[in-house]
Amino acid sequence: MSLRPLPPEGSTFEPALALAREGRLDEALAALSGLVRPDGEGRRHRSAAALAFAHVARVAEGMGDPATAVRALDEALRLAPRYADLHYRRGCVLLAGQQRPGARAALERALEINPQYVAARLELALLDAREGRLGESMVTLRALGEEHRGLEPRAFQQGLRSLERADWDEAGALLKSAMRLSDPMVEHALDRHRDLVAQGEHARALHMLREAVAAHPGYPDLHYLLGCSELEAGLLDDALASLARALELHPDYHTARVQLARALEALGDLVQAGEQVALVLQEDPAHPQAQELQARWSRRSPARGRRAAPARKAS
């Protein structure tokens, strides 16, 4: 069973969630516990409460407090023990803290509830590799690659090569990107970035992303987010470097390539910008952002609207 959107009754828990977003995690957990009704009083209420505890767990992860995240997820699972996503998130938090036996148990429980849970299967395969069962891990991953629709083959193969080199962080990041799975590291960075931008703390938001990239350099999505933020801040050379790194890790990352084209355009290099857009449209002729850029350049000048000759992809 997967997590669902918070029901309307979730507004009951908003004051407690606001405490969590302010960093007052213990107070938030205490407030949520006080709002939970006795067993048997409303399945809808219990589901909403479980999702509220899961939200606090996510905030705690983003603040670098895994112990509180586990506490919050334990409370959520007490209310909704059949939510596979909660077991999966608990497993990921424990993995980040190097608590492998507990992480394995949580991930296996998620798969007992939902045997087709791709993200949990992937994490277990990565855990097998870390614990010396590389052959078993590769068999599982190749099977996932064959089953998964929408797989990006080059990034997937790069992820497998990283795994063989025992570069766990890069392998996990590339495999998740290739399979288009959400990644807690990226979600946390994005949530924190949005919060800081909403508070007008643009410099802190950019600094936070740079710290995230330094701590987890194998994540193409983090390089992409950093590049987008640098582009928005007018730091064009930095944006170019960040987006190029995202493409080195994940050559088929079309959205990053479009942003690279925008950075090149801002630097006045319309020839290279056009080549990057052409590369995207060769692979995905319906890509909306690439189409928009090409159409805009076409309106500016007929010469610029012609598709550039094929260029070599970053790899």
Residue 117: is its pLDDT beyond 80? yes
Of the three residues 67, 84, 114, the one that is the final residue of a domain is: 114
Tell me the CA end-to-end span of the chain in Å, nearest whole number: 38
Q: Regarding predicted confidence, which is higher, 254 or 306?
A: 254
How high is the pLDDT of residue 38? 62
- Is residue 21 assigned to a domain? yes
Alpha-carbon distance of 111 to 132, in angstroms, equals 22
Rounded mean pLDDT, 171-187: 84
- CATH number, position 55: 1.25.40.10
Among 39-53, 96-110, 137-151, 206-220, the minimum mean pLDDT is found in 39-53
Number of other residues whose CB lies within 10 A of the CB of residue 22: 11
Residue 4: is its pLDDT beyond 60? no
Residue 3: is its pLDDT beyond 60? no
Confidence band for 56, pLDDT divided at 50, 70 and 90: very high
- Is residue 312 assigned to a domain? no
Residues 107 and 191 in one domain: no
Of the three residues 64, 97, 114, the one that is the final residue of a domain is: 114
Domain that holds residue 296: 184-305
Residues 6+ apart with CB under 8 A from 242: 213, 223, 224, 226, 227, 230
Residue 254: is its pLDDT beyond 70? yes
Residue 182, Cβ density class (10 Å: 0-12 exposed, 13-18 middle, ≥19 buried) = exposed
- Is residue 129 assigned to a domain? no
Alpha-carbon distance of 156 to 153, in angstroms, equals 5
Of the three residues 60, 89, 114, the one that is the final residue of a domain is: 114
Highest mean pLDDT among 166-180, 229-243, 295-309: 229-243
Are 155 and 177 in contact by the 8 Å Cβ rule? The answer is yes
Q: How many structural domains are present in the chain?
A: 2
- Is residue 194 assigned to a domain? yes
How high is the pLDDT of residue 307? 44
- Is residue 135 assigned to a domain? no
How high is the pLDDT of residue 299? 78
- Is residue 173 assigned to a domain? no
- Is residue 176 assigned to a domain? no
- Distances from the Cα of 92 to the Cα of 58, 86, 201, 287, angstroms: 11, 10, 29, 33
- Distances from the Cα of 14 to the Cα of 7, 227, 278, angstroms: 12, 33, 46
Q: Regarding predicted confidence, which is higher, 245 or 39?
A: 245
- Is residue 231 assigned to a domain? yes
How high is the pLDDT of residue 37? 66
How high is the pLDDT of residue 2? 43
